[in-house]
Amino acid sequence: MAFDSRLLAGVSVLASVVESGSFTRAGAILGLTASGVSRSVSRLEERIGVRLLDRSTRSLRLTNEGARLYELAAPHLSGIEEAASLAAGAVGQAQGLLRASVNPIFARNVLAPRLPEFAARHPALRLILVQQPDAGDLVAEGVDVAIRFGPQPDSTLSSRLLLETRVLTVASPAYLAAMGRPETPMDLMGHECIQFMDPQRGRPFEWEFRRSHETVMVKAGGRFTFTDADMMVEACLAGLGIAQVLAFAVGGHLAAGALVELFPNWPDETFPLYAVRPSRRLSPAKVEAFLAFCEEIATPRIP
C-alpha cells in the first residue's frame, strides 16, 4: 500500500478517538465536528479494507484489527510529534499554546503571584489556565498538564509527585472561646467539624492524625460540607467550626492569629501535590518548562 498524507491523517484521528473515548471529544481536540471525525475513521477503514471500530449509540470499541493498528501506530505518532517539535525548536524553547488545569488553592496562593516571572522567562509561550476539581478527563478537556492534590489513581496518565504539604487542624479564636479547645484528636467527636469533599471519591475526606509511627483515625462529624476550599476557610474564620486545611493556604491567618493550629504535636500528616499529563509520551518543552517553574515556586513556599 502506497503511503500518503491521508493515511497518516486518518490514523491520527483514530488515535484521538481511542485516547479521548468518543467522536465528540476527539473532534473538540482536533477542531472537527463529531460527524467529521466519524467520516475520517470511515475513510480510513475503506482505505485499508478492515473495520477498526465497532460503533453503537452508547459506546465505541476497537476491533481486534483496530487495536492492533493503534498499538503499532501510536509510538510512531509520538515520534512524529517529537520530530516536529524538534524541527520547530520547541524542544529547546518553550513556545506555542499550553492549556493547564491548576488546583484553585495552588493557583491562588502560589502560582498567580509569580506568573509575571514565568511570562518573562518564556515570552514565546501562551498560557491558558483553567480551574477544575482534582478529577476529570484531561484528554476530553484538551488539557496539556494538570496540577492536582491528592493520591492519583492508576491510569494511562503520567503522574509526577511535586511535593507534599502538611495538613493542619484549625479553628478560630471565637469558636474556641464558645465551644472550648479539644486537647486530643479524639476530642473532636464532640465538636462541629467542617467536612471537605474528596472530588475523586465523591465523599468527605477522612480525618487522620500522624506523628512518628502513630496514626489515629477520627470519625469527625459536622453539618457542613464544602467543595470550595476558600469558602471552607472563610467559614472557619467566621467561627463555624473546626477544619482540616493545607498549611500553605492558611499561613497568613495563622501568623495573624485569626486561626489557631489545634494539634501541633501531630505534625506528620501530609497531602501530595502531583503534576499529571494525559500521555506517557515524552512531554514537550512547554510542559516541562511549566512543571519546572511549579516545582521551583512551590518547594520553598509550602511547609
Given a contact cutoff of 8 angstroms between Cβ atoms, the answer to whether 109 and 131 are in contact is no
**What is the percent of the chain with per-residue pLDDT over 70, rounded to a whole number?**
84
C-alpha cell at 179: 465551644
Per the rule left: phi > 0, alpha: psi between -120 and 50, beta: everything else, 173 is alpha
- For cell 510512531, the residue is 76
Task: Provide the pLDDT confidence category of residue 302 given band limits of 50, 70 and 90.
Answer: very low
Higher-confidence residue of 69 and 258: namely 258
Average pLDDT, the chain: 84
Q: What is the pLDDT of residue 135?
A: 59
What pLDDT is recorded for position 35? 87
Mean pLDDT across 123-151: 79
Quick check: 18 and 33 in contact, CB under 8 A? no
φ, ψ of residue 42 to 5 degrees: the values are -65, -40
Q: Is the pTM of this model over 0.75?
A: no
Residue 283's pLDDT is: 66
Contact predicate 65/110, CB 8 Å:
no
Contacts of 300 (CB under 8 A, 6+ apart): none
pLDDT tens string 193-211: 999 998 778 889 999 999 9
What is the pairing mode between strands 145-149 and 96-102?
A: parallel
* Structural domains of the chain in order of their starting residue, each with its CATH number: 5-88 (1.10.10.10), 96-161+272-298 (3.40.190.10), 164-270 (3.40.190.290)
- Cα–Cα distance measured from residue 186 to residue 247, given in angstroms and rounded to the nearest whole number: 21
The helix/strand/coil state of 55 is: strand
Helices within 89-114 (DSSP H only): 104-106
- Stretch among 85-89, 119-123, 160-164, 298-302 having the lowest mean pLDDT: 85-89
Q: How is 246-293 classified by DSSP, letter by letter?
A: EGGGSHHHHHHTSSEES-TT----EEEEEEEES-SSPPPHHHHHHHHH
pLDDT at 184: 96
Strand partners, 245: 168
Nearest to 186 by CA among 214, 217, 210, 149: 217
By three-state DSSP, how is residue 228 classified? coil
Helices (H), strands (E): how many in the chain? 11, 14
Percent of the chain's residues with pLDDT above 90? 38
